[in-house]
Amino acid sequence: MKSYSYILFILLFVFASCSHQTEITSPDGSLFVSFRLTDAGAPEYAVALDGETVIDWSALGLKCAEQDMTANFVLQGSDSRFHQETWETVWGEEREITDTYKEMVVHLRHSSGAEMDITFRAFNDGFAFRYSFSEQELKSLTITEEASEYRFTAEHQVWSIPWRTEYYEGLWTKAPLSAIDTVCSPVTIELQNGGYAFVHEASLRDYPAQNLYYADGALRTYLTPWLDEHAHIMPDKAYKNVPFPSPWRMVILTRTLPELVASRIMLNLNPPCRIDDTSWIKPMKFMGIWWGMHIKTMTWEAGPKHGATTANMERYLRFAKEHGIDAVLAEGWNLGWEDWKHFDFTTPYPDWDMDYLSKLAGELGVQIVGHNETGGNAADYECNLDSIYRYHAAHGIHAIKTGYVSPIVRTVNGLQFNKGQAGVRHYRKVIETAAKYHICIDNHEPVMPTGLQRTWPNLMTQEGVRGQEWNAWSVDGGNPCEHVTVLPFTRILAGPVDFTPGVFHFENPVIPTTRVHSTLMNQLGLFVCFYSPLQMACDLPEHYMEHADAFRFIEQVPCDWEHSLLVDGKIGDFCIFARQGRATDDWYIGGITDEQPREAVVPLSMLDQGKKYSLTLYRDGDDADWLTRPYAYNIEKGEVTCSDTLRIRMAAGGGFAAAILPKN
């Protein structure tokens, strides 16, 4: 069958009824991307991997109010080049990233006279393309539809969430490709031949986020639309001044799941860092006055149970200092929580002494993470960014968690989807303005990440996920065990995630029908399996002291890495990650499983030969179970080398964590 598919692809290449065709291969020759114009002048592309057609001839182009740019093109010529470089991240899952690809730019001229280029890049682990318009007589475009499609050649299985899922906070489900409705980008695809694909976008700037739907045998693009003054969906998707490039349309194609997780195509498709001095951008772990509000023991607004008081914050700051936690978040410190009509980001409640707390934090060497919840009023926030960030910087606050809790946000362009063009513009302005004041951003209710952190590394992490908070109050009982075993292969492939792991006390008497669906060791494993350079240990200090010996792993594990790898995993079942601390020889391993207990097998071949390491293993107890005995665990110590293999039982809803440090 493979040989037949390859012959068919070549025949299509040689004998296709089109006037112009060109192609490129990946640097290793395994991936083949072909472009053609049909007799009608319609641009199309096709992709083969290892001699097998993966994506058959698929449409390209843009439909605009001014003219339809999906046909009536002629090929003016094409250029190609080879690129290879290695660049260093400011922070990340890897210190160094290699960027190697072959590029082909096809120059098209439309019957209207408009000129459009399509750039293709072929990597060893996938491909990407984008549209661009150079300076020309055409000065602007109103894009009403993007014709980009992916005509996969088989009925694969797709992991996705619906496109109108508020804040992307949904449970990812698997369905046949032909059965999906309109879904968010990205999607993760399990190919029939055992390989994997990840369809997403990169370098999203001043353009609506893409969504995807299936029709007429192809996965097609649906751009997030503009809304009119009545918040009704308009046909217009993007208003663009010429010249401009579109975001990259990106497909990772790999034979194995570890290769999928290791791909860095999305980061490589973004421009290099725009911040000259990045020394102030520091990955860190933080705690926060936060979980208490979700379990209803504290409130955001002032009152008898107010969480963000001077006394409570001082308690958190001193606890963080004692246990080596870098920073403390406080939500509900500022005016506005009582009615959500107008948040004041420079005026504290009377029971919050900002001057005293910022001075204390400086003396302790613990940072304060600010919190700016807009209630969806992005326009008000945007108009006051300079004064807000100036206030925070003056109080030594150089990390801010932003929030946009509203299904439709109020932008400077009126009510709009947060992932529409207006929302994308707003988030970009926030990031760039924050950089001027040396402020890092943890963006909640975001647009889906697309690798912008390479260009603006002060965008350190984002939510965009059904996170830990759902385990405190969700009417469906909380996140099922499977949820956390899906995210590393779906949402987290798009970028760092503020999931807020680290709950140590699972029962909530205020909402007894909801609880955390995991063992305590599963919560430790999340600190390795879920990547975020701003990593929150979300529970209360007193809950951590109930299991102080297990909390030691949270104190120790870093959140910035030299190298990362997926040891083993299966989407929706389990995952095991190993990561090396940046600029160290220390390794940390974490594993999590769904509702099925299983044995984790972890070869330690990633360790240096000839070295001995001390092992501290945090594992589920023999009788542990997420529902009946979530707190049963053992801590074991030993010595290991690169020739050893760990075999660790993970309980139902369980997991493990390990710290492996070189011996002197």
Active site members: 469
How many Å apart are CA 35 and CA 37, to the nearest integer? 7
Q: Answer whether 415's CB lies under 8 Å from 234's CB.
A: no
DSSP state, 144? Answer: E
How many Å apart are CA 292 and CA 48, to the nearest integer? 52
Report which of 212, 228, 208, 209 is spatially closest to residue 220, judged by C-alpha positions: 212
Nearest-5° angle of CA 443, CA 447, CA 448? 100
State the DSSP H helix or E strand holding residue 587, giving kind and residue range, or none if neither. strand 587-593
Please report the DSSP string for 270-303 in residue order: SPPP--S--TT---EEEEEETHHHHTTSSBSSSS
State the DSSP H helix or E strand holding residue 550, giving kind and residue range, or none if neither. helix 548-556
Q: How many CB atoms are closer than 10 A to CB 8?
A: 15
Please report the DSSP string for 156-178 in residue order: -EEEE-BTT-GGG-S--EEEEGG
Which residue is it, tokens 């697309």?
450
How many Å apart are CA 126 and CA 191, to the nearest integer? 14
How many Å apart are CA 502 and CA 500, to the nearest integer? 7
**Residue 260: which residues within 8 A CB-CB, separation 6 or more?**
125, 188, 196, 198, 252, 254, 489, 493
Strands (E), 374-408: 399-403
Q: CB-side exposure of 102: number of CA atoms within 13 Å? A: 16
How many Å apart are CA 218 and CA 210, to the nearest integer? 15
Sign of CA dihedral 551, 501, 324, 355: negative
Q: Answer whether 147's CB lies under 8 Å from 221's CB.
A: yes
